[in-house]
Amino acid sequence: MAVSKKLLFGTGPVANESLVSYLIRLAELNLYTRMSWIGSLVGLGLADGSVNKVRANLGKLTEVVDVQEEQLTPLFHYSSRYGNHSHVSLPTGEIISRDHLSWPASRMCFYCAAESGYISRLWDLKCVTHCPIHGTCITEVCPSCGERATLDRGSLLPCIPGCPLKLEEQKCGVETFGLMRLLSNKFMGTNYSLLRYGFPKELVNGDISIVLQSLSLLLEVVTCTSIDEGKGIKELQRDDFAQAIDEVSVLLSKWPKRMPHILKFLPSENENQSSAISPRQEFGFLYRRVRENQQSLQFFFDALVQHVNGPDNNKVITKRGSPSMLEGDERRLYVPARSAGAFLGMGRAKLRHLYNWGHIQGKYVQTGYGKTLWVNRESLEQYAELQRHLVRPRELALSLNVSRQTVRSLRKANVLPCVHGSEKDGWHVCCYDKRIVSEWLETLKQKCVKTHTGSGLLSLKEAVFKFNKQGLSYGKLLTAIDEGVLTIYLRKKRGEFGLSVFRVRETQLVKWYGPPEPEMHNHDGS
């Protein structure tokens, strides 16, 4: 089509301005009552919605407006992929469903238009329901005078003369405001801070396609409407859609803490209400959508697994029917009692004993066979590590170079606490942690005072023997050392180890405990 005339007045586009906005401004500048008259000069028929046709004819505007072609290129950056008109390419090279676009449309933020003198292309994105600057609703109707902005108009603002355009008091919620800023960052290249909202880092740092995919998924959840890549969105009424976006923004905030709220929207297919669940039955279409797009929605998948296996949830994931969620045992935060017992080398009775006394964490879940114990994997591995270092009294006595009676004395004095024992947790035999014993011995060595003479020093064994009749025990002696009442010395002789290397001064012992009772002698002097 040959251009028949040039516009009397021309102007260049503004950065981030929409094509509709530019055509309206040209019409207003040249006193046209409708912007379609400008479009007709160059074959820009916006009504047919063909993005490729519009893009092909965009350069003809240079013939009627005194601007360079490269100035007009950013105006309309959508283009359909060859052979696929359901998706459009963005300048970044990202491809999104065309159903995510609301183009051409006349909705806008009236306050932004009044302040800046143009309409932002951000309003082309359907999920943008509120302004990321003012927090006000994106609409075709002036919030002050009530005039409607039709697409084919000749002025930027349709308001009646003298309209007192005042900022509406009712604004969107904090989470929705944050979501609008997230969309602006992805679509417009703005740099709003999003730290306060707690959105998933994958959305904050990822491409817009992941953001839109996540929004579509959650919109389907909260509306119970089939939304495939944005197609079902257009079936929702404007108010219902805005409300759904509000709900989605709340669900995405403080991620992943809102996962329980997300799952409340889902109709469960778990007829028996079993606590040992198959994700396909429990989460239905949500699980299927996430699995189909797991590469881009891995963060959602991980949050789902984390929630199900969390301490506040009474359900665990079974392997049956859900291999995708349990690819390898490392993904299983909870394991059944049989597997846990085999891992520790003990029967289920002992395992339940460990659980009842808090040595391992877990939960009882309802299955088709009744309640069964499932053990937290992390606590299971921690106890397995502890198990490697457990020793019985006989072995501990040998390592300390004392009698088993002495070990018992130290336990009763709480100098050397046990991990298991009849008095502690009902365990049939006492068990001690070798690591704690080693740390305790090292602490004793650090308390030792250097001395150049062994005169007047008694070994701990000698001290207990000498003051035994007065009731001195290893427990009392080591407690006094620990409390700083007695000074301890290190005088290691050949072949000594454990507690036999330590000494106390007899004079200090007498001052603290009194003189030892004299030994009884027979009349014959023996």
How does pLDDT run along the chain (526 residues), one tens digit per residue? 445 577 888 888 888 888 888 889 988 999 988 888 887 877 777 765 566 677 777 777 777 887 877 777 777 666 655 555 677 777 677 888 878 888 788 899 999 999 999 999 899 899 999 999 999 999 999 988 889 998 888 899 999 888 888 877 667 899 999 999 999 999 988 999 999 999 999 999 999 999 999 998 899 888 875 544 444 455 667 778 889 999 999 999 999 988 888 888 876 655 555 566 667 777 778 888 888 888 888 898 888 877 776 666 666 666 554 544 544 444 567 788 888 999 999 998 999 999 999 999 988 876 666 677 888 888 999 999 999 999 999 999 999 999 999 999 899 888 999 999 988 888 888 999 999 999 999 999 999 988 877 788 999 999 998 888 888 889 899 999 988 899 999 988 888 899 999 999 999 998 888 887 665 544 433 3
Tokens at 51, concatenated: 């993005």
Q: Answer yes or no: are the C-beta atoms of 360 and 341 closer than 8 Å.
A: no
Instruction: Tell the burial category of 452 from Cβ atoms under 10 Å away from its Cβ (0-12, 13-18, 19+).
Output: exposed
With CA atoms as reference, report the closest residue to 460 among 489, 431, 433, 437: 489
What letter would DSSP give residue 137? B
Which runs of E-coded beta strand occur in 136-272?
Answer: none
The structure's pTM equals: 0.66
Q: What is the pLDDT of residue 251?
A: 94
Residue 341: strand, helix, or coil: helix
Helix (H, G, I), strand (E, B) or coil at 211: helix
Q: Which of 74, 80, 177, 82 is nearest to 135 (CA)?
A: 177
In the chain, where are the structural domains located? 19-76, 110-255, 333-388, 389-441, 447-513
Q: How far apart are CA 399 and CA 438, in angstroms?
A: 10
Distance, CA of 506 to CA of 45 (rounded, Å): 108
**Residues 443/510, Cβ–Cβ less than 8 Å:** no
- Maximal C-alpha separation, the chain: 145
Strands (E), 69-173: 79-81, 84-89, 95-97
Contacts of 226 (CB under 8 A, 6+ apart): 220, 232
pLDDT at 323: 43
Q: Give CA separation, 357 vs 290, 327, 332, in Å.
A: 39, 31, 23
Separation between Cα atoms, residue 64 and residue 10, nearest integer Å: 8
| Rounded Cα–Cα distance for residues 9 and 219 (Å) | 45
